[in-house]
Amino acid sequence: MKKLFLLLFTAFLFIGCSSDDDTIYDYIGTWSGKYTGSDDGTWNLVVASDGKVTGTMHSTVNDENYNISGNLTDTGDLTAVIGLPDDGEFKGTLSREKKGNGNWSNAVPTPARYGTWTGDKK
């Protein structure tokens, strides 16, 4: 009986400790990369344990900084706004493999600018 209990307990541990569970903890930390399109530059984000995202974009064309703020889901879906109040969007996906990509748009300065971004976790 003792051996059966130990066998069932061990099986339960393997089943209950799957590495595929979605958790925000895989994404917490600093992410950075480049963005391109009708403007280009660099971006930096910090993902907090509650999924809040804060950061900046730095335009090498206009030599200006733009705030990024938003949220990240447990599955790595990023939804953020650019500027305060929101003048644009910074959306995409962060992966458990420490890579990220997506699209951005910014209405300031006019005319509106848009493009894509890529990066990784530091």
What average pLDDT is seen over the chain? Answer: 87
Confidence bin at 108 (pLDDT 50/70/90):
confident
Domain count, the chain: 1
As to burial, measured by CB atoms within 10 angstroms (0-12 exposed, 13-18 middle, 19+ buried), residue 47 is buried
Q: Report the CATH number at residue 36.
A: 2.40.128.120
Residue 81 lies in a domain: yes
d(CA 44, CA 49): 17
Q: What is the pTM of this model?
A: 0.80
Residue 21 lies in a domain: no
